[in-house]
Structure 1
Amino acid sequence: MTIKLLIGAADHTIPITVQQRSTLAPADAFRLIMPIDLATVFKPVWPFPGIRSIANQTETWDHPGPTRNPQFDDGSQADEQLTECVDGVSFAYQLTGFTNVLANLASGVRGEWNFNPDGAGTLIRWTYEFKPLPGRGWIVAGPFAPLWRRYMVAALDRMVQSSEAALRNPAA
């Protein structure tokens, strides 16, 4: 399967990166976070909606190619495709087709997760790389960026807490 990538080397993008440490080993953090139920960790953080559900997932989310549609609390959605996956190490996806305010700011986003050894645990690094629409880069890099970073920090914190709890209590 050939995947048409949203972002290429010549594109001007605006990355927003967050990171958090986890007590989990990198392979465990990857295994628990990659397939996580997005509705349990993407809660509303003003001014952004949470994720209510996932629709139209084409196949298991564990290799490049599958697509799905995150459904947001405000009734909007996006098209998502898994573009890269290195088991236990990293994965990347792209989001396009936004039906909310992001449709007016960016043609799409590339998300990338890296799970790096950090002593006995993991340093999890998550980047959202926005491809702004012409003339909109200043909005994404300016007033939008700190709001989006706050949204990402909250979601990443929930993911780390959820994955660490799942490993401590596998039957829960």
Structure 2
Amino acid sequence: MTLHLSQSRAVPVPVDEAFVGVLEHPLPEIFRRRMLAMPPIREVRGQIGPWREVGQTRTIVTADGGTLLETLTSVERPHRAAYSIGDVRGPMRPLVERIEGRWSFEPVGTGTRITWQWDVTPTAAGRFAMPAFARMWRGYARQALEEVESVLLR
């Protein structure tokens, strides 16, 4: 069973600007707020250069002491990028086996619709927590997309 999650927001900037702004902006500035049990990102370790080359990896460190290994798996500039998250450690480990994430950017009106998606593969025990996890993620994603808009409009 895979849980599909998706959240979108339209921002008044061109698609290429939105793409670069989301992919290359420091994660702790976009994911700086907690949503219930979903912690902010405190730091990123091991990233070499801007986040834009397939195969790049980095370790995401969350405020609750957890870590996630992220690998960039696809880049179709300026319309989409995908990544996988594995080696989940810390408080999310009992719930989540793996995450496949995507960002997509499509023209809408005079701006761009940015969509962030996660396909979450829960652990056997985590399956029972997925409805609550989904509610938290949607709030976390809404906050992150608000931060993205703020960053892009600076």
- In which range does the TM-score fall when normalised by the shorter chain? over 0.9
1:80 to 70, 84, 99: 70
**AA partner of residue 124 (structure 1):** I
Shift of 1:50: 0.8
Q: Residue 51 of structure 2 aligns to a residue in which SS? A: coil
TM-score with structure 1 setting the length = 0.84
RMSD: 1.3
Note the alpha carbon deviations across 1:81-113, whole angstroms, 9 max, x for none: 000100111001111111122211121111101
> Secondary structure of 1:45's match?
coil
Show structure 1 runs of 5+ residues with no match. 1-11, 166-172
**Amino acid in the other structure paired with 2:10:** R
Higher strand share: 2
TM superposition shift of 1:129? 1.0
Which residue does the alignment assign to 1:89?
79
Alpha-carbon distance between aligned partners in 1 of 2:128 and 2:36, rounded to the nearest angstrom: 20
Tell me which residue corresponds to 2:10.
21
Give the CA deviation at 1:13.
1.1
Q: TM-score, normalised by structure 2?
A: 0.93
Larger radius of gyration: 1
Give the aligned length.
153
User: Identity, % of aligned pairs?
Assistant: 25
* Consecutive aligned runs of 4 or more in structure 1 exceeding 3 Å deviation: none
Greater Cα shift, 145-154 or 43-52: 43-52
* Partner of residue 56, structure 2: 66
- Equivalent residue letter for 1:14: L
1:113 and 1:68 map into 2 onto residues whose CA distance is 17
